[in-house]
Amino acid sequence: MSTNLYEAHNLVQRYNGREALNVPHLAIGQGETVFLTGPNGCGKSTLLRLLAFLERPAGGVLRYAGAAEGRKEATLLLQDPYLLHMSVFDNVVLGLKLRNQKAGLRQVFESCMRAAGFDDPWNFPERGPRELSGGERQRVALASRLALRPRVLLLDEPTANVDAASARALAQAVKNCKIEGITVVCATHDPALLRAVDAHEIRLGTAWDMDSPD
Ligand code: ADP
Ligand code: MG
């Protein structure tokens, strides 16, 4: 049994007094690949933000057993990721530049673009975000996350708005993460992605009933 990287008990998040998430118990092992499934509004994106330590929970306990602060080790890729108005190359290596890394940026660019499913990384470095398809943008954003060598990769419906070829490339990227030992937590209800990757599925509860009284 692997060591748990995350453990949560009675984890609750509320917005404006409304419960957005309620997870009695959750355990995610180091290096594990996990799919978060469940209907719209059941709290998948909310849980990902909590796992990224971008928000504090309203109640309960969330423990992270990484060596350092979880926020620095986990990176969240949003459903419609935002690329900066700079070249693809600069988008991918920006995080490393901010960490003052100057050497080896070309190798990082090439390997991370390949890991994100680009067979021809050097066709892309000078392009801007507007010269990419939705699927290519999603994969460049993934490459920029991989460049940071995260311990945990949090993906929010990565294949929701992409073409079939990009969806297959993203499935392959998730599989590669497992081989690399990166813990992946991926919200999705894409049947093709669920079929393509051998992963533990965590199904969140039913959607919050918008009309029910508090
Ligand atoms: P999912 O990703 O599974 O569709 P979300 O985590 O986005 O679900 O949302 C769970 C519930 O919390 C929904 O009812 C949603 O409207 C609500 N919610 C999510 N984020 C916020 C927010 N920032 N402010 C208010 N309500 C929110
Ligand atoms: Mg969501």
- pLDDT of 212 reads 44
Starting from the edge strand earliest in sequence, which strands make up the sheet with 200-203, in order? Answer: 74-77, 152-156, 183-187, 33-37, 200-203
Q: Average pLDDT, whole number, for the chain?
A: 91
- Whether this model's pTM surpasses 0.85: yes
Nearest CA to ligand 1 atom 15: 41
Residues 47-88: pLDDT tens digits? 999 999 999 999 999 999 865 566 778 999 998 888 999 999
For ligand 1, atom 16, the nearest C-alpha belongs to 41
CA 82 – CA 182 distance, rounded (Å): 23
Name the pLDDT band for 214 (thresholds 50, 70, 90). very low
Atom of ligand 1 nearest to the CA of 21: 10
Best of 11, 13, 14, 15 for a ligand 1 pocket test (most atoms within 8 Å of beta carbon): 15
| Least distant ligand from the CA of 51 | 1
Segment 20-39 mean pLDDT: 95
Greatest CA separation for the chain: 58
Contact predicate 188/39, CB 8 Å: no
Q: Give the residue, by CA position, lying nearest to ligand 1 atom 11.
A: 20
Q: What DSSP designation does 100 have?
A: T
